[in-house]
Structure 1
Amino acid sequence: MKHVILIALCSMSLSGCLSTKTEEQQKIPIKPNLLIVLSDQHSYDMVGAYGNTQVITPNLDKFAQEGMLLENSFSNQPVCTPFRGMLMSGMHPLKNGAFTNDCPLLPNKSVLLAQKLKNEGYQTAYIGKWHLLGGDRDRGIPKGDLRYGFDKVITNNCHLDFRAHKSFFWNEKGEKEFFDEWEVYGQTKQALTYLDTIDKSKPFALVVSWHPPHDWGKKKGKDGKAHYRYDTLEEFMSLYNPDSIKVRQGIEPTPDLIDMYHGHMSMISGVDKAFGMLMNKLKETHLENNTVTVFTADHGDMLESYGALLPKQYPYDYSNRTPFLIKYPKKIKPNSKSDVLFGNLDFMPTILGFMDIPSKQNYDGKDLSDALLTNDQSAVDFVPIFNFERGTVKKHSWRGVITKAYTFTMNGGDNPLEMNNVLFDRKNDPYQLNNLFYNLAYKNKRLELEKLTNESMASFKDEFYVEKDFKSVEPEETWEYNYSKSPIELFENKINQIKQ
């Protein structure tokens, strides 16, 4: 009988200890995981959830329904390296060092995203395109400060050939290995393996960075000219009928342009499939509800819109307006949208805000987590946008702002009518077909936005344009153009008229 009593007392005692321990564990806040998925050169309008009825993106569309879609997300500088530098630092390129491609993000200038999370007890990893090292692109990422707080980095840096046995990555030993499948598939499987091997007792922060739907060089077109190349795996190319493809409004659907759209949208469907693989893994491992998951892009792709010669670096929505989808079931209601102005300078402070991780650092961006949840339009007046060029080449150097009503930029070249001088009415001209920069009726609006741009630049100590006398380049009468023809040709014609 005594033994029974002793066993009962021990059981009660053990039960009490276990109960106390469980209660203590329940009091410890469970930190959310973080998964950032990046697509490269992927415009906002190339996702079904943003209203495109021909691009096939079922997984991204489903994800948008499960979380929040940002209507007004912009890449402050629509170039790969600067985007990544701002995403990781929340700091302006003039402060973080990554002001153009192949200029490395400077370590130790501020506490970067992965460093902050590592200090908070996170296990951190980065898989895919890096493009932050600078210099020679054909090398792995050295261990130490230049990994910016990531414990594990598996990268192809920024090679452009995504085909099996052509695409590669640098393993943890610093050795180059080639994928035996399409690069996106290979990188996604690396991410899935990582999620299978993490320490389940610690939160994780993982970045998966795909290079497609970025072009992979140029090829000779049907018109005999060089055009960017986008063709990809037949399993995705076969999803689309080229004869049914429609191009953006105001653009002439040439055979070569249709080929570009075909390949670009096919790669996007491949990215969508890979994204679905990642989402399935989160569900299978019961990580979905406690993970802040973000899908966004470095910048967009002009796809020769408006006669553009480059895929990016322009102040047009197709270049700098990006998809931004975020899901966090503990805070974000399903199928929600926000049209608060958001720039990728805001990324780091906003994500930390969603994760309830305090930071005393002064960012150049804002924590917009609460504003996005409540769709608080008063939280942001404008997004600064800019583009830097190396040396004295200023053809694509420009500065400006995006407000809810207008997009404005002024260029730094010698040509006063270069296509980076823009003023677009965002409400009445959503496809940006009518540039009002030289319309005399909008002169006061243009000067108002120039002043705002200068004030923004002053806050970053950017001496690009302190003052400018617009009267010196003002045409004698209102001049408007439409983009049914190449704006470059129209600009050149107008310049010749002025010179005469």
Structure 2
Amino acid sequence: MSRSDRPNLVFIFSDQQSKDMVGAYGVGSVQTPRLDALAADGITFANCISSSPVCTPYRGMLITGQHPMRNNCFTNDRRLATDLGDSFAEVLAKAGYRSGYVGKWHLYGGSRYRPVPPGPDRHGFDATFLTNNCDVNYHPDHAFYWGDDNEVHRFGTWEVEGQTDQALAFLDGQTADQPFSLFVSYHPPHNHLGGDEDRYSGFDAPEEFKARYDPDKIELRPSLPDNQRTRRMMQGYLAMCSEVDHHVGRIIDRLEEQGLLDNTIVVYTSDHGETFGGYLAHWHKSTPEDVSIAVPLIIKLPGRELAGVRRDLLVGTLDLMPTILGLMGIRAPEACQGADLSAAIRDGDDDAVESVPLFYFPTPWRGVVTRRWTYAIEHIDRTPAAIEAIGSDVGRTRLLRTYDVLYDHLEDPHQLRNLFGQTDIQGFSGIEAVQRELHELTMAWLDYFDDPFPTQTELDALIGDAPEAPVELLHDLTPWRGNPDGETIHHGPGDSSGRIRPDR
């Protein structure tokens, strides 16, 4: 395949946008006409899972295709390791691609208010790199990016509009004789500090998009309380979803105007979902429920290949890099720990993946998702001192919930009935056997990743607050393996050697 025949890539992802917050998925009140049109021209994935539903870990996996305990980004504000082999953009560069990145980065560790210098910390995005690193105020009075002069440059517009202008400028510089990739990372609809923060509970948005939603008519999730605060919060959140949708449309329009759309793979997804504090969540994300882990994934292939198709195939975060490269006809590095699902997508093999792993490190829990079930088990230090140290971004003063969960997607799509630890009950037969099987599958994933499943106390003792402390220290811990009966099982550090990857 010559350089000019290689498909371009435009990979757009929002922040904190659950799957049910895109109209193409057929639920709720959200208005996303441009994404719905993209879905009609592409493939809509019903089961895309954010394996570690928080910002930095997701981005680390996307860029490297490697687990957080290998890439050093197991929680927010860690610095992505630079010695892991070729990153996504570095693979593309070797294939002759010109790569640009616009938007939130959140992979430089330490202080968020500083530029990311040219060099290895940009991980191959060398043609264009425009970011504010990570800033949570999108209002026109504040929104900015760091220039290569290491100075702050204000957009003078809402952040998404300014970043889209930058993305369009990158596209305007492309020609048909050199393939390119462009990653656009929008921070909305993540809650932020700009505008009327109190009225919209951190979800303020441009007036033109808020005007689309009457708070009294918004359809709420069954997991949320129906009150005025919830409805105002939802109004702002949905408005930001529509704002992002509008600007995605601008990018697609520019691709078409430039004659580039027919040879470009366009991807839309999100790093994780939004709980709004439902399920007694301690944060806006970071729980094993679908509102947190189930994210949109729409892929438009060149020439309208597989246009309008829906896939039930399970896709995890670690699978994104190798799969997109596979769709582009490029082999992923051996270091990638996800699967190249490009053949399964093209062949319509929705049964190619049995399970997707889940892992969350602060207030630690691990788990697994299949097409029928979600299972998770916690390993949290619940001593008073440890619990009091856990902060909350939804106003909780203490940890109210367990992360030991078992949900049946078929019988309980809103995940309102936790079956963890249940014996057989009417309408749910064989629960004990199901839980044991899912637990064993979770443990097999832990062995595959050489994950000792430490508590937060153990993490803090070894790593502390240093964003560059070597994650390799964690592998010296004695692995913890709980089971559904509550018994604690300890394996020696070498017991998992030679284990093959869990059957997917």
Same fold judged by TM-score > 0.5?
Answer: yes
Matches within 5 A, 1:12-161: 30-151=5-126, 152-161=128-137
TM-score if structure 1 supplies the norm length?
0.84
The residue type paired with residue 445 of structure 1 is V
Equivalent residue number for residue 187 of structure 1:
163
Unaligned runs of 5+ in 1: 1-25, 390-395, 475-500
Q: 1:469 to 1:410 in 2, by over 3 A?
A: closer
- Structure 1 residue 309: Cα displacement: 2.8
The residue type paired with residue 419 of structure 1 is T
Segment drifting more, 453-462 vs 438-447: 438-447
Counterpart check, 1:406 vs 2:364: no
The residue type paired with residue 80 of structure 1 is C
- Structure 1 residue 330: Cα displacement: 3.9
The residue type paired with residue 279 of structure 1 is I
Equivalent residue number for residue 276 of structure 1:
249
Equivalent residue number for residue 501 of structure 2:
none
| In structure 2, distance between residues paired with 1:262 and 1:167 | 21
User: What whole-Å deviation, never above 9, does each CA across 1:317-341 have from its counterpart, x for those lacking one?
Assistant: 0001100001013473211110101
Equivalent residue number for residue 467 of structure 1:
481
The residue type paired with residue 285 of structure 1 is Q
Q: 1:27 to 1:295 in 2, by over 3 A?
A: closer
Counterpart check, 1:433 vs 2:408: no
- Structure 1 residue 358: Cα displacement: 2.2
Counterpart check, 1:381 vs 2:370: no
Q: Is the 8 A contact 1:386 1:400 kept in 2?
A: yes
Equivalent residue number for residue 450 of structure 1:
439
Q: Is the 8 A contact 2:8 2:181 kept in 1?
A: yes
| In structure 2, distance between residues paired with 1:309 and 1:323 | 23
Equivalent residue number for residue 487 of structure 1:
none
| In structure 1, distance between residues paired with 2:67 and 2:305 | 28
Q: Is the 8 A contact 2:3 2:179 kept in 1?
A: no
| In structure 1, distance between residues paired with 2:103 and 2:485 | 49
| In structure 1, distance between residues paired with 2:484 and 2:260 | 56
**Residue 272 (structure 2) aligned to one of 278, 299, 317:** 299
- Structure 1 residue 472: Cα displacement: 4.5
Equivalent residue number for residue 167 of structure 1:
143
Q: Is the 8 A contact 1:399 1:411 kept in 2?
A: yes
Q: Secondary structure at the match of 2:299?
A: strand
Matches within 5 A, 1:257-336: 257-330=230-303, 332-336=305-309
| In structure 2, distance between residues paired with 1:132 and 1:208 | 15
Q: Is the 8 A contact 1:340 1:377 kept in 2?
A: yes
Equivalent residue number for residue 17 of structure 1:
none
- Structure 1 residue 39: Cα displacement: 0.5
Unaligned runs of 5+ in 2: 384-399, 425-430, 454-478, 489-504
Equivalent residue number for residue 205 of structure 1:
181
Q: How many residues align?
A: 439
User: What whole-Å deviation, never above 9, does each CA across 1:314-372 have from its counterpart, x for those lacking one?
Assistant: 01100011000010134732111101010010001100110001245242100001112
| In structure 1, distance between residues paired with 2:123 and 2:94 | 12
Q: Secondary structure at the match of 1:447?
A: helix
The residue type paired with residue 429 of structure 1 is D
Q: Is the 8 A contact 2:103 2:184 kept in 1?
A: yes
After superposition, the CA RMSD in angstroms is: 2.1
Q: Is the 8 A contact 2:41 2:304 kept in 1?
A: no
| In structure 2, distance between residues paired with 1:27 and 1:136 | 43
Counterpart check, 1:347 vs 2:325: no
| In structure 2, distance between residues paired with 1:165 and 1:221 | 17
Identity over the aligned pairs, expressed in percent?
A: 40
The residue type paired with residue 275 of structure 2 is M
Equivalent residue number for residue 14 of structure 1:
none
| In structure 2, distance between residues paired with 1:150 and 1:212 | 22
